[in-house]
């Protein structure tokens, strides 16, 4: 389709994408090419500490690049379908959707893809999202540049999550169909893969290793977990042994905070526990935690009471 297209037609195509507001056509094109050719200079890079003490590198695009990426996501990528087995980075999907297929199963296998975003390569992104099937080659290469840093996906860009789903679509479909044929439930939430049912874990691990290798990806050997029904089975923070439920530890923490508020009042509770927050900020944070529990189990009567109590406090404040 794009075989005989020239530079003028490519530029006209880029203008039609309207990736940011600029009435001056020459300036619009100049800015796009400039950012694409110097994309690494258009990020702020910082690290945040993870629960395990290690650090995660965040690549935050500058405002204009971020705006461009949001338009690429909204106007181009969101129009492409992803696999039904992918449960993250898609409007209308939640952690609960990732957990429901694994409720009340004999065995749970949890696998993690090592350095997921960093190992999704430029060529895989181009082929899955911006190839000549959809765009003139020069336009597709430019769009790929605008969505990558040092030829890979980043944690921090608006486009990265959905791109990862498109890159993994064929993988998800092939693996998901194989699992269905073998009566195994499969979902993937970003780099977390979950399998449940009655199966030999070694068979699945071997198959996943081989399939990931074709994409230039590999399993994180430190995050392979096999959990039977006699233990607490947890899927992306949700217990699934009998029904979807937030972990007891998370719920108990909320119970404790509600108890202290009843006993001491909000101000004294914050002071006694050295919580450096304004009362309104703290109550909004606690309210969000309660809503999260109810999102997973909307019939939890205990947390419905907590919700009502916190709403009454919000009105007073």
- Tell me the pTM: 0.89
| CA–CA distances in Å: residue 39 to residues 33, 66, 76, 147, 149 | 10, 11, 20, 9, 7
- Give residue-wise pLDDT tens across range 128-169: 999 999 999 999 999 999 999 999 999 999 999 999 999 999
260 backbone dihedrals φ, ψ, rounded to 5°: -65, -35
Residue, of 282 and 53, whose pLDDT is higher: 282
For residue 101 the two structure tokens come to 């297929």
The number of CA neighbours under 13 Å toward the Cβ of 184 is: 23
Compute the distance between CA of residue 221 and CA of residue 192 in angstroms, rounded to an integer. Answer: 13
- Give residue-wise pLDDT tens across range 34-64: 999 999 999 999 998 877 778 889 999 999 9
Residue, of 158 and 90, whose pLDDT is higher: 158
**For tokens 């923490």, what's the residue?**
253
| 76 CB-near residues (< 8 Å, 6+ apart) | 17, 129, 143
CB 14 within 8 A of CB 29: yes
- Give residue-wise pLDDT tens across range 238-272: 999 998 999 889 999 999 999 999 999 999 989 98
Strands annotated E in 50-189: 55-61, 107-112, 184-189
| CA–CA distances in Å: residue 246 to residues 135, 298, 316 | 44, 11, 29
**% pLDDT > 70, the chain:** 99
């Amino acid at each position: 389709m794009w075989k005989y297209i020239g530079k003028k037609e490519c530029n006209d195509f880029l203008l039609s994408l309207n990736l940011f507001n600029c009435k001056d056509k020459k300036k619009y094109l100049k800015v796009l090419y400039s950012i694409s050719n110097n994309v690494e200079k258009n990020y702020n890079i910082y690290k945040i500490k993870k629960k395990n003490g290690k650090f995660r590198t965040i690549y935050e695009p500058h405002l204009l690049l971020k705006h461009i990426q949001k338009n690429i996501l909204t106007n181009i990528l969101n129009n492409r379908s992803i696999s039904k087995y992918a449960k993250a980075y898609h409007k209308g999907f939640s952690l609960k959707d990732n957990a429901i297929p694994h409720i009340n199963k004999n065995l749970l296998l949890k696998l993690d893809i090592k350095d997921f975003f960093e190992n999704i390569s430029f060529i895989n992104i181009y082929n899955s999202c911006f190839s000549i099937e959809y765009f003139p080659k020069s336009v597709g290469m430019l769009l790929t540049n605008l969505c990558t840093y040092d030829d890979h996906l980043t944690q921090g860009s608006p486009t990265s999550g959905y791109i990862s789903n498109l890159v993994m679509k064929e993988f998800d479909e092939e693996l998901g169909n194989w699992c269905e044929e073998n009566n195994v439930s499969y979902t993937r939430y970003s780099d977390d893969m979950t399998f449940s049912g009655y199966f030999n874990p070694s068979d699945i691990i071997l198959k996943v290793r081989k399939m990931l290798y074709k994409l230039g990806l590999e399993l994180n050997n430190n995050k392979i977990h096999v959990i039977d029904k006699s233990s607490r089975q947890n899927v992306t923070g949700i217990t699934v042994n009998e029904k979807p439920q937030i972990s007891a530890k998370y719920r108990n923490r909320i119970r404790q905070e509600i108890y202290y508020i009843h006993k001491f009042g909000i101000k004294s509770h914050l002071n006694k526990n050295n919580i450096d927050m304004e009362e309104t900020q703290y109550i909004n944070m606690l309210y969000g935690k309660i809503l999260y529990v109810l999102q997973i189990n909307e019939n939890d009567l205990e947390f419905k009471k907590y919700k009502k109590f916190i709403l009454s406090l919000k009105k007073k404040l």
